[in-house]
Amino acid sequence: MRKIIGMCVIMLILVGVYSYKTDVQAEEVVTKELYTLVRPVALDKAGLSRGIYHDRQDLGIIMPAGEELEIRQVNPNYKDTVSGRFITADSKEDSTFQITSSWGKIKNNYTAVPFIYTSFRTDGSKEKPVLEYRVTNKMKKLPIYQANNNETAFFQLWDSQDAEYGLVLSDKFQMIVPKKDKELLRKLKDFKNIDDVISYYNQVITLYCKLDGLSLDAKEDYNRDIATKFFIRANKSGGGYMYYGGEETAENNDSLAGWLYKGWGPLHEIGHAYQGPFMSGEVSLGEVWNNIYAASFEEQYMGDDVFQKGTIYGTSLKSRTNEMIQSWKVANLPISKWSGSSKEQTLMAMKEKAGDEAFAYFNQQYRKLTSQADFNAADYPIFQVLNKFYGEKTNFDFTPFTDSIKAPVSNAQKEQNRSKDYRPVASIVDVIPDSKRESVKQQLKLKTDVAIVDNDQIASLGLKGNVTVNFDIADFKDIKGKHLKLSDGKKIVKDVIITNPTMKLDNLPNGVYTIEDIVGNTSNYNMSEHYVFVKDAENNLKVTFTKITGYKLIDRTIDILGCDYVQAGKLVTDLKNNKVIVDIIAETPHPRYENKVYYTIEIFNEKKESVFKKEIQGTNVTPGSYPVAVKPGYQIKIVHDEPQLLRENGVTISTTNKTLVYTVTTTGLVKNDTIGLDRTIDIFGCDYVQAGKLVTDLKNNKVIVDIIAETPHWRYANKVYYTVEILNEKQESIFKKEIEGTNVTPGSNPVTVKPGYQIKIVHDEPQLLRENGVNIPTSNKTVLYTVTEMGLVRSDLVDKSSTVDRIAKLAKTIDSNDGYYETRGQILETINLFPEAQKQDLLEQYQEILQPLLDKKAGTTDFIGDDFQFSLLGLSNNKFASIDLDLANNKAKLWVRNGQPQLYFTNAYATIQLKDEFGNVIYSQDYIGNISNPADVNKTFDVKPGYYISVMHREADSRLQMKNTESNEIIPSQTENHFKITATGLQIVKKEDIPKPTENQIKYYGQQYDFSLYGLGNNKFASIGLDLANKQAKLWVRSGQPHVYFQDSYATIKIEDATGNVIFTKDFLGNVANTELNKTLPIESGSLITIMHREAAERLAIQDVTTGSKLLVKQTVTYKVTSTGLHLIASK
């Protein structure tokens, strides 16, 4: 148990320091130079105890009860205080003392060992205290054992004096051993000898420092170790069984026998020295964090025996693991509600996966955070920083695990992990079927049933499952057609287009996968889930899309705390609905304010009339919730008798004023002490002459800069005395006047400004600046103002929680051009709530951050919907053709009217083309203006995302109508129009964007084809007529020789069925006569037709009978029959 022991909490027997009397005779005068240490300021700031202030130095003596010791400090150059403490086996019998440069006497009422507290330097001085003290014959020599000393001599000295104490001393610790424990120390049970004790505890402290990322040669002060010694003692007035404090660690007994065995207690207590400010957040880690160190030592020291003898990994592990899983998966409790044992297992599992180096890195980086001037521990909850720094060191994303245990981690940190393509990790509890978990643990040699794994670790198991994903979104079409991508780090495991609100992903290897952000076409969303766990054969995942509102950054929560930080009241803004909710919570906010007002909340309208007021006393309060309608211009006044107990969005409000006033604006609350409307800044010179003046006229968006005095200060001849500069929102200077002390030309300069602009005044004598007639309390020569919608804001009074500042803070978390789409969406939605002028300025300011989000959205070239109609009109606006797209059913219906389209055009008046995803023509028809179409056409084509539609119309401006019939949106038309079918509708593309198929992508769409083989004199000697509608091929061979000049194989025909069986083959020899043949063969989808022709280029023709279009020919070609035509699969 940890108990901080300080002089303020221990009953001390104070000892006076007496003047030295010359008639006192001493038997021996001892001189002792004490070492000093550099105060580890950075470690102190980090809240790291590390036994730093345990360090003390013995005088080598044991003093009997009441015996006086004469002592002084004799180094005249050493100026700091020297103090010490008498140590006994009971802190109630201890006392403290101080030593001066004059001889003085110190004593204790009980037999004790005097120690001098080690002094810590902060000024760089190398001076050390030097003590002189008189040892009398009544005092005993303190038996001291250091490593490799003679143990026999040590005990001989102890025995010969019957000394009350002995000291075991190492460079890392010192242990004051009571006489009661002498025989145990002489005949140790768990150790070979005292050297073994020293070695053991040295190993403990060395490992703990290593895990904490400390080293004596570290460059960074927050990682630099200090050569201090832990102080171990017996204290029968201590706390618990053992305790750790700021000055010592001890056993609560007049014996320290527990420290002379290899037990858990000492490991646990020393571990307390390596804690930090993260201990007391939402997830309390008291009596937990130190056990990480203790368990790590046991594991290193015991090896495999730790699973039998260890405290955490030992025989009780199974029952404690079951307790953790019960809290986690059965009771569904967040980790903040778990037992300390379950928290220990959680932290150990994370450390085991990350490794000791990552754990040390976490400690180093956390201390780096604490070194920042504005560090606030509440901003860095433990699992958030573990997630961050483990990720940085290992490239693993621990978010799936921390989400599963409901640990507090900010969305910004989660987005950062995803944006860096860290590989997700999870507990085997979440990715291995319960029935297989024990066997998998054994197979993979994992330490616990909750071990954390990555996907590669479990891949060899061969486990797979299906995942049904349900998209819960108000407007499904906003994400329809987007990609659902599952990734494992940089590796894309699954990439499918979202086509339905419910989708099934089959045959995924067990594990955890990151769901890449799905960005809505029109709205911005927060996704409830960013990871999918594959655990069982069938898994379900519901992803809820919640629209991001800009009010999240605009609204504020003001917490009003009371005695012992009780939640006394709360004020929450809901500016989207123009209201404020005032909650009165505690019935007794502060007992000392009985019948006295403790805090007040009052709301005023724009006329300064009170519309709500609650005066809350310290006791007998009636709780209640009060919604109050507000609007811009209203004011909220909070009066608290203890203003240090006010919090804004969880952060302490930096104020000593008991009254806090906010003004409601369209973009949030603004503290009244930070704003002002029009102001006059007077610039004075020598003898208070009016040197210049700056007056704001923000109603008209301008500032008037007046240069007044010709000689503002005669001593600044040819030197700049003051400067007025105005900068725009890009920090570009738009106005600047540098005024010297003499020969100044007066003038008045109006300058146009707007919110976001800054006014900088530099004055060599800033005490001569006035604001609205009042001295500006500053010694800085530069005063900076920012123009806002509410007036000027002086930079040294900026409301750091303003909406603009909160946007800036959020933007700083984005460190990549990819990802962070929810954060980018939050910034965009907040900016959209600002007045138009400021909104445009902010959009320009954050354009680079917002662009990746905007690129993911549907642009002006995208038309969202399932139903589209293209109507082609001709002469007298009569429709002659149309295309109706039904993308929900993947159909395109073509209609063409019989007759001439437009008789005044004698060439192509219009063209319709349909191509597949590779650019193969499915349908293409030119409509000649003065040529009649032969008959009405009604034809339906199968289409899908990736296909292309092209429509050309010579009179497109007035006679081509393209419409999204779902939204009634008219699609602008031009002579040539090219569209790509997407999963969400149509996208305008350029003609050159339509791909051209490579040879292995060539497909032909049709039902009738003719293969003609020609020979000598271009006489046809064979042909195949393909009728795919009737699934037959008519083969014809002419009698006679194909080509007499070829004496070997001139051509070949081979036809195979879908299973690869040859149903016809013939080799045509050039000079060998053939017998006439007429044969009909069955054809099916999958049949192959292979043609070889020695003179293919000139004498092999393959064409679509319906359209007359030619198919590719080469010396050898193989075409595969498909449901829609032919597919070239081989050619040479």
pLDDT of residue 12: 30
**Domain stops at, among 797, 817, 848:** 797
**Domain match, 108 and 249 both:** yes
410 pLDDT more than 50: yes
Three-state SS for 1028? coil
10 pLDDT more than 60: no
Query: Which CATH number belongs to the domain containing residue 196 in this structure?
Result: 2.60.120.1250
Within a domain: 948 = yes
For 186, list phi and psi in degrees, rounded to 5.
-75, -40
**Alpha-carbon span 543 to 468, nearest angstrom:** 11
Q: Indicate the range of 81-90, 446-455, 754-763 predicted with least confidence.
A: 754-763
Tell me the DSSP string of 820-838. -HHHHHHHHHHHTTS-HHH
Within a domain: 264 = yes
- pLDDT tens digit sequence for 926-955: 999 999 987 888 999 999 999 999 999 999
Buried b (16+ CB within 10 A) or exposed e, 591-604: eebeeeebbbbbbb
Which residues, in sequence order, are bridge partners of residue 266? none
Nearest residue to 349 via CA among 302, 301, 312: 312
Within a domain: 1015 = yes
Residue in the block written with tokens 């976001």:
756
**Domain match, 904 and 826 both:** no
834 pLDDT more than 90: no
Rg (CA), the chain: 43
More confident residue, 356 or 967: 356
pLDDT of residue 779: 76
- pLDDT tens digit sequence for 56-71: 999 999 999 999 999 9
Q: Provide the pairing of β-strand 680-684 with 690-697.
A: antiparallel
Sequence-distant (≥ 6) Cβ neighbours of residue 840 within 8 angstroms: none
Helices 836-845, 847-856: axis angle to 10 degrees equals 90
Question: pLDDT exceeding 90 applies to what percent of the chain?
Answer: 81
More confident residue, 248 or 22: 248
pLDDT of residue 787: 84
Sequence-distant (≥ 6) Cβ neighbours of residue 373 within 8 angstroms: none
Question: pLDDT exceeding 70 applies to what percent of the chain?
Answer: 96
**Alpha-carbon span 983 to 655, nearest angstrom:** 56
pLDDT of residue 152: 98
pLDDT of residue 795: 59
pLDDT of residue 379: 87
pLDDT of residue 983: 82
Measured from the Cβ of residue 504, the count of other Cβ atoms closer than 10 Å reads 12
722 pLDDT more than 80: yes
837-842, Cβ contacts within 8 angstroms, sequence gap of 24 or more: 837/754, 837/755, 838/667, 838/754, 838/755, 838/756, 838/789, 841/729, 841/754, 841/755, 841/756, 842/756, 842/804, 842/807
Within a domain: 478 = no
Give mean pLDDT, residues 375-399: 95
pLDDT of residue 799: 53
Q: How confident is the model at residue 378 (pLDDT cuts 50, 70, 90)?
A: confident
**Burial of 46 from C-beta contacts in 10 A (0-12 / 13-18 / 19+):** buried
Q: How confident is the model at residue 759 (pLDDT cuts 50, 70, 90)?
A: very high
**Domain match, 95 and 203 both:** yes
**Domain match, 118 and 212 both:** yes
Where is mean pLDDT largest: 18-32, 829-843, 1113-1127?
1113-1127
**Alpha-carbon span 1113 to 1098, nearest angstrom:** 10
Q: Provide the pairing of β-strand 782-788 with 702-707.
A: unpaired
**Alpha-carbon span 218 to 476, nearest angstrom:** 55
Within a domain: 316 = no
For 143, list phi and psi in degrees, rounded to 5.
-65, 125
Residue in the block written with tokens 């040819």:
718
For 377, list phi and psi in degrees, rounded to 5.
-55, -30
**Domain match, 77 and 216 both:** yes
**Domain match, 195 and 146 both:** yes
244 pLDDT more than 50: yes
More confident residue, 891 or 1000: 891
1070 pLDDT more than 90: yes
Helices 340-354, 382-394: axis angle to 10 degrees equals 20
pLDDT of residue 858: 66
- pLDDT tens digit sequence for 972-1022: 999 999 999 988 899 999 999 999 999 889 999 999 999 999 999 999 999
**Domain match, 245 and 103 both:** yes
**Alpha-carbon span 1047 to 1070, nearest angstrom:** 5
Sequence-distant (≥ 6) Cβ neighbours of residue 995 within 8 angstroms: 917, 918, 919
**Domain match, 217 and 232 both:** yes
Please give the C-alpha separations between residue 191 and each of 195, 251, 259, 982, in angstroms, as whole numbers.
9, 19, 11, 75
**Alpha-carbon span 962 to 943, nearest angstrom:** 18
Which residues, in sequence order, are bridge partners of residue 187? none
- pLDDT tens digit sequence for 591-628: 999 999 999 999 999 888 999 999 999 999 999 999 99
pLDDT of residue 673: 57
706 pLDDT more than 90: yes
**Domain match, 34 and 158 both:** yes
Q: How many domains does the chain have?
A: 6
pLDDT of residue 862: 79
pLDDT of residue 1073: 95
pLDDT of residue 790: 62
Distance of CA 426 to the CA centre of its chain: 17
**Domain match, 76 and 178 both:** yes
CA atoms within a 13 Å half-sphere pointing along the CA-CB vector of 868: 25
Stretch (H or E) spanning 808: helix 803-812
Within a domain: 401 = no
pLDDT of residue 3: 39
* Longest alpha-carbon distance in the chain: 149
CA atoms within a 13 Å half-sphere pointing along the CA-CB vector of 346: 31
Within a domain: 737 = yes
Taking the complete model, does pTM exceed 0.85, yes or no? Answer: no
Measured from the Cβ of residue 996, the count of other Cβ atoms closer than 10 Å reads 11
Where is mean pLDDT largest: 475-489, 522-536, 822-836?
522-536
**Domain stops at, among 226, 257, 274:** 274
Within a domain: 388 = no
Give mean pLDDT, residues 1051-1078: 96
- pLDDT tens digit sequence for 275-306: 999 998 899 999 999 999 999 999 999 999 99
- pLDDT tens digit sequence for 1079-1092: 999 999 999 999 99
Residue in the block written with tokens 């999240």:
552
- pLDDT tens digit sequence for 88-141: 999 999 999 999 999 999 999 999 999 999 999 988 888 999 999 999 999 999
**Domain match, 213 and 145 both:** yes
**Domain stops at, among 778, 797, 816:** 797
Its domain, for residue 591, covers 557-673
**Alpha-carbon span 441 to 349, nearest angstrom:** 13
**Domain match, 66 and 208 both:** yes
**Burial of 77 from C-beta contacts in 10 A (0-12 / 13-18 / 19+):** exposed
